[in-house]
A and B are shown apart, each in its own frame.
Chain A
Amino acid sequence: MDDEALGARGLVVGYRGHEVIDGLDLALMRGRITAIIGANGCGKSTLLRALSRLLPSEGTVVLDGRDTATLSTREIARRLSVLPQGPSAPEGLTVADLVARGRYPHQRWLRQWSETDEAAVREALERTNMTAFAGRPVDELSGGQRQKAWIAMALAQRTDTVLLDEPTTYLDIGHQAEVLDLLVELNVSAGRTIVFVLHDLNQAARYADRVIAMERGRIAADGTPDEVITPETLRAVFDVEAHVVADPHSGAPLVIPASVPLTVRRAAPAAS
Chain B
Amino acid sequence: MSGLVALAIAVGVVAMLSIGVGSRFIPPGSVLSALFSPGGGFYDNVIWELRVPRTVAGLVIGAALGLSGAVMQGLTRNPIADPGILGVHAGAAFGVVVAIYVFGLLDFRAYVGFAFAGAALVSAAVWLVGSRGRDGATPVKLALAGAAISAFIGSATSLVLYADSTAFDEFRFWSVGSLAGAKADLLLAAAPFLAGGALLAFGVIRGLNALSMGADVARSLGQRVSLVRGAAALAVVLLSGTAVAAVGPIGFVGLTVPHVARALAGPDHRRVLPYSALLGPLVLLGADIVGRVVAIPSEVQVGAITAAVGAPVFIWFVRRRAVREL
Residues of A within 8 A of B (CB): 49, 52-54, 56, 72-78, 81-84, 87-94, 97-98, 101-102, 104-105, 107, 139, 154, 157
**Of the candidates B217, B219, B268, which one forms a contact with A73 in the assembled complex, judged by CB atoms under 8 Å apart?**
B219
Contacts A73-B224, A91-B267 given; does A104 touch B206 at CB 8 Å: yes
Contacts A91-B326, A92-B266, A93-B267 given; does A104 touch B212 at CB 8 Å: no
Q: Is the CB of A90 within 8 A of B325?
A: yes
How many Å lie between the Cα of A101 and that of B267 in the bound state? 13
Query: Cβ of B223 < 8 Å from any Cβ of A?
Result: yes
How many Å lie between the Cα of A241 and that of B145 in the bound state? 49
State the Cβ distance, B98 to closest chain A Cβ, in Å: 40
Contacts of A52 in B (CB 8 A): 220
**Of the candidates A49, A77, A93, A97, which one forms a contact with B221 in the assembled complex, judged by CB atoms under 8 Å apart?**
A77
Contacts of B223 in A (CB 8 A): 73, 104
Interface size class of B (residues with CB under 8 A): 20 to 34
Residues of B within 8 A of A (CB): 134, 206, 209-210, 212-214, 216-217, 219-224, 262, 266-268, 324-326
Q: Is the CB of A92 within 8 A of B220?
A: no
Contacts A91-B325, A97-B268 given; does A82 touch B262 at CB 8 Å: no
A-B contact pairs, 26 of them (CB 8 A): A49-B216, A54-B220, A73-B219, A73-B223, A73-B224, A77-B222, A81-B220, A84-B217, A87-B216, A87-B217, A88-B213, A88-B214, A89-B212, A90-B325, A91-B324, A91-B326, A92-B262, A92-B266, A92-B267, A92-B324, A93-B267, A104-B206, A104-B222, A104-B223, A107-B206, A157-B221
Q: Is the CB of B221 within 8 A of A56?
A: no
Q: Is the CB of A90 within 8 A of B267?
A: yes
Contacts of A98 in B (CB 8 A): 213
Q: Is the CB of B268 within 8 A of A93?
A: yes
State the Cβ distance, A59 to closest chain B Cβ, in Å: 16
Contacts A89-B213, A93-B267, A93-B268 given; does A54 touch B219 at CB 8 Å: yes
Q: Is the CB of B324 within 8 A of A87?
A: no
How many Å lie between the Cα of A92 and that of B267 in the bound state? 6
How many Å lie between the Cα of A91 and that of B325 in the bound state? 5
Q: Is the CB of B134 within 8 A of A56?
A: yes
